[in-house]
A = this chain, B = another copy of it.
Amino acid sequence: MFIPLGFKFSALPCGIRKKDKLDLGLIYCEGKGISWGVFTKNSQKAAPVLIGMKHIKNSSTKAILVNSGVANACTGEEGIKRAYTVLEELSKILKIKKEEILPASTGVIGEPLPVEKILPNLPKLVEELAEEKYTSFAMAIMTTDTFPKIVSKKTKEGIHILGIAKGAGMIAPNMATMLGFILTDAQLTKEELKRLLQRGVEKSFNRITVDGDTSTNDTVYALSSGAKKLEKIEDFSVHFFEVLEELAHLIVKDGEGASKVIKISIKGAKSKSEAEILARSVAESPLVKTAFYGEDPNWGRIFSALGKTKIPFEAEEVELILNGKPWIKELKFITPEEEIKRELRKSDIDLQIRLKRGKQSYSLLTCDLTEEYIKINASYRS
């Protein structure tokens, strides 16, 4: 792992979740940290989101504090108050301003943030800060995730980028679908970091919110310690985007109950937005997702999902290409059905849908829909 200079991590079980489950995590940034954030568009923004939206505007960020188990969403004024109580206490221990801390929470909506469990654990959390504890941090933010999600890259100049995320479901607003933390030691201006993060999120995390759900808590923070001078921003951007894209892929791979990651690409649409509408309609169709789970080359479901967007097209002109093999052309199988079935058995699937309406394209990642998804979500609280 390439841990950026100037960062320390810590994690503890403070009893919000089951006994001994890590549920409180801290990232500390030495030096003046430059930060930005991208947040959920849900109208019911959680308390930590509302606070984070303010705090990223400050010139300095020194810490990120995250808890899992309780989302602190739909908690009204009391929720904001409780979040600030925690930030104030932490700021005293770290000897920084509370405005220099970015908060994030993930878990059940509507339950009050248990400050009485968090406060007594803050001194130890700070005490145990260490460079190598990034894995514990990644575990502390997990909810239904089955593995911690960590990606790191090193640029040619020797700059490090570390990304940590949580999220285990395409459609899990209640779980605060996703949190992401992108750390680097590159010297960047706030404006540069903001532009990079916004572009990166558009190309990664925004291409996996398969059913258009955005949770009350979705947050991606970027934070740079500025410890290393940056010369080649192009090379850095490539690596920065890769970190985001790989994290996004890990989230889909760990999708609740998912057995397959499916990339859906639309080519030959009239406009970018038309391509996106078509791609999302296919990627979010429960019938397409269950057909992939059933490894059933039931291509009619794909055409029906395209058609329900009401964007007009000639079915005869649509081509489907599966894992590089021509599947459907002029409404007929091109590669024998048996061979297509074999492709469907793979766990990574690439579906290209070619129209003849124009030159625009869009792609996104989805996963299949399985019985396990229902089990996880029917019993989440109990």
Contacts and interface: CB of A to CB of B under 8 A. Distances in A.
Interface of A: 41-44, 71, 73-76, 108-111, 171-174, 211-216, 285-287, 290-291, 293-294, 296, 298-301, 303-313, 315-316, 328, 330-331, 369-371, 373-375, 377-382
B371 A300 contact: no
Contacts of A305: 173
B296 A43 contact: no
Nearest to A292: B378
5 contacts: A43-B312, A44-B307, A74-B300, A75-B331, A108-B300
- In the complex, the count of this chain's copies comes to 2
Given A290-B378, A378-B293, A298 B108 contact: yes
Given A110-B303, A294-B377, A378-B291, A211 B286 contact: yes
Nearest to A306: B44
Contacts of A308: 42-43, 173, 212-214
Nearest to A41: B310
Given A109-B303, A331-B76, A374 B369 contact: yes
Given A76-B315, A304-B215, A294 B378 contact: yes
Contacts of A304: 42, 44, 73-74, 109, 173-174, 213, 215-216
B172 A287 contact: yes
Contact of A109 (B43, B301, B377): B301
A109 B379 CA distance: 35
Contacts of A290: 373-374, 377-378
Contacts of A371: 371, 374-375
A71 B294 contact: no
Nearest to A313: B43
Contacts of A377: 286-287, 290-291, 294
A375 B293 CA distance: 10
A209 to B, nearest CB: 10
A293 B377 CA distance: 9
Across the A-B interface, give the 8 residue pairs with the lowest CB-CB distance, nearest first.
Answer: A109-B300, A294-B378, A44-B307, A290-B377, A110-B300, A371-B371, A42-B307, A173-B304
A300 B370 contact: no
Contacts of A109: 298-301, 303-304
A233 to B, nearest CB: 34
A381 B298 contact: yes
A214 B309 CA distance: 9
Given A43-B312, A213-B287, A291-B380, 6 more contacts: A74-B315, A109-B299, A109-B303, A215-B304, A290-B378, A291-B378
A301 to B, nearest CB: 5
Contacts of A375: 371
Contact of A378 (B296, B300, B306, B378): B296
Contacts of A294: 377-380, 382
A331 B371 CA distance: 32
B380 A296 contact: yes
Given A308-B42, A312-B43, A371-B371, A301 B378 contact: no
B300 A382 contact: no
A371 B43 CA distance: 31
A74 B303 contact: yes
Contacts of A110: 299-300, 303, 328, 331
A44 B302 CA distance: 11
A286 B376 CA distance: 12
Q: Which of A213, A296, A300, A373 has the most CB of B within 10 A?
A: A300
